[in-house]
Chain A
Amino acid sequence: MTALGALIRRDIRIALRVGGGALIGVLFFLTVVVLMPFAVGPDLALLTRLGPAILWLGALLASLLTLDRLFMADHEDGSLDLILTSRTPLELTCAAKALAHWIAAGLPLVIATPALGLLLNLDMVATGAVALTLLAGTPALTFTGMIGAALAVTLHRGGLLLAVLVLPLSIPVLIFGVAASQAAITGPLTFGAPFSILCALSLVSFVIGPFAAAASLRHGLD
């Protein structure tokens, strides 16, 4: 347990320091949201209607772009080899790394959401709903994305290949995240049903993600 705690603390510290690049995700999120009105026009009513979808899409892309740092930096400086040879089960280590990555790169996106909601003319309820669904859904994005990050580091490829592999897997999260936000704003469905499924997707990804990433690292890096 202490080893995992130390790993989480170390990863967060590295991500937040100079060269870590976790907060660039938030900047990217802001830029995507600012670009949207230029594409669809400054119509506030339309932006209100599209708001949850724009915020979700921005958060999805931002969390995708920070993913390739998850294992790459550790692989470059050799600490990934030490992690692989340690006695802690690799699945738990992967889960700890993903958790640290989510705290450093995913949570700031959720915190930034209320400010970005103002830009899209979302009211309090809508902003709260989007922030809550992002809080429940971004762990699923990080944990399924970790599989792609592990594949990318074993193949020494990143960037576009990672995006192409991970994005189809994130479609369910996007569907239920946006559906739950829309349900809270306009109805006709209740917020509970899609939100519970969103939480279920996150829980499933907690199981699948670490095992698949560990399998990929174990088979790929020997």
Chain B
Amino acid sequence: MLIACRTGYHYKAHDHYQGAMKLIDTLTDLANPSRFLALTTRVLPWLAALTAVVLAIGLYQSALAPDDYQQGATVKIMFIHVPNAWLSMFVWGVMSIASLGTLVWRHPLADVAAKSAAPIGAAFTFLALVTGSLWGRPMWGTYWEWDARLTSVLILFLMYLGLIALWRAVEDPSRAARAAAVLTLVGALNLPIIKFSVDWWNTLHQPASVMRMGGPALDRAFLIPLLVMAIGFSLLFVTLHLAAMRNEILRRRVRSLQMMQASQTSEASQAGAVANDSMRDQGALKPTIGTA
């Protein structure tokens, strides 16, 4: 914002218009990777500290929360499980917005944001699956139940892995970015359809044999720690995402430096080879001239 104010437009216009211009200015300034890196370096330590504090409070409150009269202490898995499950979907939303940024506005940081969000989202989804299955063992008597929610989260996990495979299949980051953006947006359109079909499929095959969470309203004693944990995990995502974006920018710089170096050395060696060839040619020519 500071930078935006400095380069701001000093003419009289509607406040509305100026506000929009300021926002665009800020986004344009952040498009410069160096400014983004400077901002991240300043913000990241504070963000990390805040995340640690909120997560510590959340964990403390979760530990103090009373046991459920039906589920006993296992209900505390919920305080880890639900934020992870929530973030597993939220991260896909973040990637979809970043993909729009790649395809529509060609924002230089959008594909960095999309790429670095994918492994974090996959990790949250994996944790949601693992904690869900650990919760299922004492509740349902089995680690894996083809429950509608577990199944659709599993499919979400598969789609994250497919997206990561796509990023890793192509060397050129900008080419991979556009393909991944199309796939992310198609996934965002398809995920509700998949969720709906899996729900339908599940009710067809096993009518209400599993426990239904969320039917009765949550008690305050559970709700407040859950909300604190949700905020803590969201902050964790923002921190990890910013750090991953910073690393991705630095990785791309290293890559372009390496490529520049490689092209210089190959040019130099080619020049050397050409010089050698011409010397040999001259040497080969001399006898022919001599014999002629």
Contact = CB atoms under 8 A, between A and B. Distances in A.
B186 A212 contact: yes
A219 interface: yes
A167 to B, nearest CB: 8
A165 B201 CA distance: 22
Interface in B131-178: 155, 158-159, 161-162, 165-166, 169-170, 175-176, 178
B186 A168 contact: no
Contacts of B190: 169, 172, 208
A175 interface: yes
Given A155-B176, A219-B178, A175 B185 contact: no
Interface string B8-26: 0000000000000000000
Nearest to A189: B204
A85 to B, nearest CB: 19
Contacts, number: 78
Contacts of B197: 171-172, 175-176
A168 B175 contact: no
A25 B216 CA distance: 51
Contact of B182 (A157, A161, A197, A212): A212
B207 to A, nearest CB: 11
Nearest to A154: B179
Contacts of A165: 162, 165-166, 183
B193 A179 contact: no
Contacts of A216: 178-179, 182
Interface string B181-198: 111011101100110111
Interface in A190-207: 197, 201, 204
Contact of B201 (A169, A175, A201): A175
B187 to A, nearest CB: 8
A219 B187 CA distance: 18
A147 interface: yes
B200 A175 contact: yes
A151 interface: yes
Interface in A150-171: 150-151, 154-155, 157, 161, 164-165, 168-169, 171
A168 B191 CA distance: 10
A219 B182 contact: yes
A215 interface: yes
B182 A164 contact: no
A161 B179 contact: no
B103 interface: yes
A108 interface: no
A176 B187 CA distance: 19
- 10 tightest A-B contacts by CB? A172-B197, A219-B178, A216-B182, A175-B201, A175-B197, A164-B162, A151-B179, A165-B162, A212-B186, A168-B159
Interface of A: 147, 150-151, 154-155, 157, 161, 164-165, 168-169, 171-172, 175-176, 179, 189, 197, 201, 204, 208, 212, 215-216, 219-220
25 contacts: A150-B182, A151-B166, A151-B182, A154-B175, A154-B178, A154-B179, A155-B169, A155-B170, A155-B176, A155-B179, A157-B169, A164-B162, A165-B162, A165-B165, A169-B186, A169-B194, A175-B200, A176-B197, A179-B200, A179-B201, A197-B200, A201-B193, A208-B189, A216-B182, A220-B175
Given A151-B182, A171-B197, A189-B204, 16 more contacts: A155-B166, A155-B175, A155-B176, A161-B165, A165-B165, A168-B158, A168-B159, A168-B162, A169-B186, A171-B194, A172-B194, A176-B200, A179-B204, A208-B186, A208-B190, A220-B179
